[in-house]
Amino acid sequence: MTSRPTFHPGELWLVTGASSGIGLELAKALARMGQSLALSGRNEKALLAARGACMELGAPEARIFPQDLAAPRGARELARSVREAMGDPVGLINDAGISTALPVIRIPISRIREQLAVNVRTPLVLTHLLAPSMRKKRRGFILNVASVAGFQALPRQAVYAATKGFSVHWTSALRRELLPYGIHVTALCPGLTRTPFFERSGLDADNRLAGFRWAWHMPQDVARAGIEGVRRNRMQVCTGLFYTVSRTLTRLLPRSFVRRLVAWGCHD
């Protein structure tokens, strides 16, 4: 059995999607633990506010790196900037993600490319560039923020769910590859979370899932579960009993029934 990892104060973590939502709360949680932070996102003003909050919470150092990760070389430029300014991170949190709640044929192809770039290409590139230094030190942490959407097909968010399915399976394989070198890899799989992501995705207020208040979580609770999952060296973390049970049921129930149930919840 692999021992649980320990966090040392002052180590550097790169957090993408750190300007709001789960990414911001993950950054705050690390700040409370005395970690140094490289905060990335597209909104520079929001990043400055995030930096201030993290410094107040105890981060010994926090710098912002505004970056459009949908750009062809966005992830490479981010990795280079962080290395030049702060050194090699010991921790990487791939939180940045985008979605569009529309049938596939109604989504502009440019938007689909953006989803693939941010949700798939960016974690791949950042991990490929930053994991070698972790391997050399035989110490590192990678937390990929996936979603329970990655466990099944999701009408009206078909591309998003597929990218999160990639994240779930990729994390599992990556963990096997990197654990012998002291690098701990975890997938955080939240369900419905009250963040700006929900509105930016275009999910309308009368979506049937919006009325299930008991199924929603706050981003700080999701972040807490994610950090605890890393502490416990978990491969996968689902937030809350409802989603843990749901994930188990989707494995046991007939796939045709699950598809109809999910389609009902995503009804336009």
Across 31-52, average pLDDT: 97
pTM metric for this prediction = 0.86
The amino acid at 102: L
Residue 261 lies inside a defined structural domain of this protein: yes
CATH of residue 260's domain is: 3.40.50.720
* 6 or 94, higher pLDDT: 94
* Residue range 78-111, pLDDT digits in tens: 999 999 999 999 999 999 999 888 899 999 999 9
For residue 236, give Cα distances in angstroms to 56, 108, 198: 30, 32, 22
Residue 115 lies inside a defined structural domain of this protein: yes
For residue 90, give Cα distances in angstroms to 131, 156, 199: 9, 37, 33
Report the number of distinct structural domains present in the chain. Answer: 1
Contact at 8 Å (CB) between 172 and 146? no
* 200 or 165, higher pLDDT: 165
Residue 2 lies inside a defined structural domain of this protein: no
Q: Is the dihedral of CA 17, 79, 135, 37 positive or negative?
A: negative
Contact at 8 Å (CB) between 7 and 90? no
Which residue in 94, 122, 127 sits closest to 15, CA to CA? 94
Contact at 8 Å (CB) between 36 and 42? no
Residue 100 lies inside a defined structural domain of this protein: yes
* Residue range 212-259, pLDDT digits in tens: 565 677 899 999 999 999 999 999 998 855 455 555 555 544 555 445
Q: Which pLDDT value is given to residue 145?
A: 97
Q: Which pLDDT value is given to residue 223?
A: 96
Residue 83 lies inside a defined structural domain of this protein: yes
**122, 124, 125, 127 alpha-carbon torsion, rounded to 10°:** 110
**Average predicted confidence (pLDDT) for the chain:** 87
Across 164-186, average pLDDT: 96
Give the confidence band of 200 by pLDDT, cuts at 50, 70, 90.
low
Residue 4 lies inside a defined structural domain of this protein: no
* 207 or 153, higher pLDDT: 153
- Which range of residues forms the domain containing residue 121? 12-265
Residue 3 lies inside a defined structural domain of this protein: no
Residue 46 lies inside a defined structural domain of this protein: yes
